[in-house]
Structure 1
Amino acid sequence: MSIADRFREHVKEHRQGMLYDLMFAVAWVGLVSLLFDFVFVGAPRWVFYMFMLAGIPAYFGFFFSLELAKQENAG
């Protein structure tokens, strides 16, 4: 099996999840960029990077709580 075949298979299996990941990333980066363009204009650059880095736990927290809510509604 070639790398291209593996890639196609992976995308076929995880298409919806990859789309959600991309949407979250675009929304997070957009929100942080807007905050630092209009609200925290004078903040140091390292604070901007910390907000970007905070997207990692925010991502896992959001999808973990979403999964818990789905389980609660199902049962």
Structure 2
Amino acid sequence: MTDADSTDGGIVATVRNHVREHRGGMVVDLVFALTWVTVVTVLFQVVQGPNWAYQLCLASGVVAYYGFFTSLSLAKDRQSTR
């Protein structure tokens, strides 16, 4: 076995472990992204808005993601302290 083979095996094992540890969070992230893109795409097909606004709405999904999950985390923390 060469050094490249052992390095590739190490990378694959590292990725596999990361996915195994974070599977639930990765699924939630994927569902959020797919939902956001679907809603924005359908909305812009209905209203036929300009392309720059469509791209801006897609990019604002990053802000929406962090805003949603930050507020969810704060709400859970607040509820657990009651």
1:67 positional shift? 0.2
Tell me the equivalent position of 1:58: 64
Give the secondary structure class of the aligned counterpart of 2:36: helix
Q: Percent identity?
A: 42
Tell me the equivalent position of 1:8: 16
Q: Larger Rg: 1 or 2?
A: 2
The count of residues paired between Structure 1 and Structure 2 equals 73
Counterparts of residues 1-75 of structure 1 (less than 5 Å): 2-38=10-46, 40-41=47-48, 43-75=49-81
List runs of 5+ in structure 2 lacking aligned partners.
1-8
> Displaced runs of 4+ in structure 1, greater than 3 A?
none
| Root mean square deviation, CA, Å | 0.9
Q: Give the number of the structure with larger relative contact order, counting CA–CA contacts within 8 Å between residues 6 or more apart.
A: 1
